[in-house]
Amino acid sequence: MTNMHHNHEDEHFPCSCHRPEYAYTDSLCPMCEDAAEREREARRNGEHAEPSLEEASREADMDAFADACGRMSREDWDADNDWLASAGWGEM
């Protein structure tokens, strides 16, 4: 069975948020660079960094999703819900 989604597993992402504009570079996005710096500083001080790169990545994903949903028109939202219902997945 063919996967219809683009698979990024083979691409090189330097940061955990997998922002495509940073693929194949040695640069972290500003958010991940800040988180990495906090972690390095915390290690130097013998502490645990807050938030971790994974938490920062999850937060970035949630923010991106919220931004995308906020830009959806009501018609788009209804069409998505109709499609999900027809596929048996309920509503968003």
The answer to whether position 66 is within a domain reads yes
Query: Where is 70: in which H helix or E strand?
Result: helix 53-70
pTM over 0.95: no
Cα 37 to Cα 49: distance, rounded to the nearest angstrom: 9
Cα 1 to Cα 7: distance, rounded to the nearest angstrom: 14
The answer to whether position 10 is within a domain reads no
Give how many domains the chain has, as a whole number. 1
Question: What does the pLDDT look like over 4-24, one tens digit per residue?
Answer: 545 445 456 667 677 777 777
The answer to whether position 59 is within a domain reads yes
In this prediction, residue 60 carries a pLDDT of 79
Tokens linked to 75? 């018609």
Question: What does the pLDDT look like over 50-72, one tens digit per residue?
Answer: 667 777 787 777 777 767 666 66
42: number of Cβ within 10 Å = 14
The answer to whether position 24 is within a domain reads yes
Residue 66: give the domain boundaries: 20-86
Whether the CB-CB separation of 38 and 30 falls below 8 Å is answered with no
The DSSP call for residue 89 is: -
